[in-house]
Amino acid sequence: MNWILALPELVLALSVLALLVIGVLPKRDTSFAITMGAMGALLVTTVLVLGQANGNAFGGQYVSDAFSRFTKVLVLLGAAAGLLLALDWNAKEGIARFEFPLLVMTATLGMLVMLAANDLMTLYLGLELLSLSLYVVAAFDRDNARSAEAGLKYFVLGALASGMLLYGSSLIYGFSGSTNFDRIAEALADPAGPSAGVVVGLVFVIAALCFKISAVPFHMWTPDVYEGAPTPVTAFFASAPKVAAVALLTRVAAGPFADLAAQWGQVIVVASIASMVLGSLAAIGQRNIKRLMAYSSIGHVGYALMGLAVGSETGVRGLLLYLAIYLVMNIGVFAVLVSMRRGGRSVEGVDDLAGLGRTDPGMALAMAIFMFSMAGIPPLAGFFGKLYVFLAAVQGGFWTLAVVGVLTSVVSAYYYLRIVKVMYFDASQGSMDARPAGVSVLLAASGLLNVLFFVFPAPVLAAVQSAVAALVG
């Protein structure tokens, strides 16, 4: 039964090994074929995830429930989108090597293990598999100094976060007597209350996970890594790993440490407010659009954490819905960024979008939809994402969080709408190169999902509700 429950992860791991064997065959350019194989493996894994049964495996270290299935599907969609965005871009930049899709697959495998973790050791195993893959893909354009710098910065700070996670886990194990989430929850249910050692350990674990989601004050790596890494890698960074890390933090906080909500809730509130404020203010002066999106992602993490800070069923529901909508918005924005090529050269400045409304009306319309959605303009999907977390904060009595969220949304609307103004009202700097068909499909799909969400919200809301019920009962 153990291996059947973990079948999605096993299939993905075996697919990586099989494609690796194909990739090392001599005198053959296999990068395109392996990318297609990787996308096929992700599709098969998604089908297997959807067919998973509920239960525990491997001595209680692995759990399968509606929460893990919902978040795994989001991660797999983000990974597939990242591969599709990289297919043409890597070839044009001269970095189309078979190792890239394999690294994305191993990162995805790490995320699936993280999301199924029911033990601190399983959590660490998945997180490190993800991190080691991301260190390499961040520096994948090895002849580019900015890419190498991005990989090095992420590696150094990531190693620090891993050390904090291990130290916190060791404290929790020492004072609770177990690394299993269920046993930890039983130990913390003691009427005498938690020991100081467990609380300190939990703070270290939360700090390490806040680094992975780039929440303030652990955000320092994000702007440089987003700007320096190849654009498809940045798209992957900003979507699947971020969703997985926020979901993991939610499982850890609302699962085994639910009885310590009074302790970790204060940390999450501070991180949420600081992330919203810094994300909205620091992005105002950015002229590089990838760096702007880095600060934007920090702000969006703050909004998502608002749902976790509330700690109620309504809050977690708002958080999961926000993650799903953010993933779609983000994929759409980065589909535009990957398409920003002029004269065969990639361009990244906000001013490079000038006149796009006249030279490429379709791409400009899609980008405008994503910008309005990220700003929270109704009736686009981004509005409902913010609405749910704001309502959860108000219902939970977290008025300060709600007010800061609304105010920072107003501030962030400035730089989102500035991009729309540049596209439609500034003088054109020349037309963009033709974009690949796969990127156009992603643009159209993301745009339609953002526009039509308010018409067909029921399937997503039902999946979110099932996931919440599995986590918080």
Tens digit of each residue's pLDDT, the chain (473 residues): 577 888 999 999 999 999 998 888 776 767 888 889 999 999 999 999 998 888 888 888 888 889 999 999 999 999 999 999 988 888 888 877 888 899 999 999 999 999 998 888 999 999 999 999 999 988 888 888 888 888 888 888 888 888 999 999 999 888 888 888 888 888 877 766 677 888 888 889 988 998 888 888 888 888 888 888 888 888 998 888 999 999 999 988 888 888 788 778 888 899 999 999 999 998 888 888 889 999 999 999 999 999 898 888 888 899 999 999 999 999 999 999 888 887 777 787 888 888 888 888 888 899 999 999 998 888 899 899 899 999 999 998 889 899 999 999 999 999 899 999 988 888 877 777 778 888 888 899 999 999 988 888 888 889 889 988 888 76
Q: Give Cα 253 distance to the centre of its chain.
A: 18
Alpha-carbon distances of 193 from 257, 263, 341, 351, rounded to whole Å: 12, 12, 59, 57
Contact of 165 with 125, CB cutoff 8 Å = no
Q: Which helix (H) or strand (E) holds 55?
A: strand 55-57
Q: How far, in Å, CA of 70 to CA of 443, rounded?
A: 23
- Give, as one character, the DSSP assignment of residue 94: T
Q: Which two tokens stand for residue 346?
A: 């990639």
Query: Considering Cα of 450, then 451, then 456, then 458, what sign does the dihedral take?
Result: positive
pLDDT value for 340: 84
Q: How far, in Å, CA of 225 to CA of 70, rounded?
A: 28
Contact of 382 with 345, CB cutoff 8 Å = no
Contact of 404 with 277, CB cutoff 8 Å = yes
pLDDT value for 1: 55
Q: How far, in Å, CA of 79 to CA of 436, rounded?
A: 18
Query: Considering Cα of 244, then 295, then 436, then 25, what sign does the dihedral take?
Result: negative
Q: How far, in Å, CA of 468 to CA of 330, rounded?
A: 23
Q: How far, in Å, CA of 225 to CA of 246, rounded?
A: 19
Helical H segments across 94-195, by residue range: 99-115, 120-138, 145-176, 181-188
Q: How far, in Å, CA of 24 to CA of 260, rounded?
A: 50
Q: How far, in Å, CA of 169 to CA of 256, rounded?
A: 13
Query: Considering Cα of 264, then 270, then 275, then 280, what sign does the dihedral take?
Result: positive
Q: How far, in Å, CA of 335 to CA of 77, rounded?
A: 14
**Strand-pair partners of 62:** 57, 117
Residue with tokens 């809301």: 461
pLDDT value for 298: 92
Dihedral pair phi/psi, residue 28, rounded to 5°: -140, 135
pTM of the model: 0.93
Residue with tokens 């191993």: 106
User: Burial letters for 197-221: b for 16+ Cβ neighbours within 10 Å, e otherwise?
Assistant: ebbbbbbbbbbbbbbbbbbbebbeb
pLDDT value for 109: 94
* DSSP track, 329-366: HHHHHHHHHHH-EETTEE--BGGGGTTHHHH-HHHHHH
Q: From the DSSP assignment, how many helices (H) and strands (E) are in the chain?
A: 21, 4
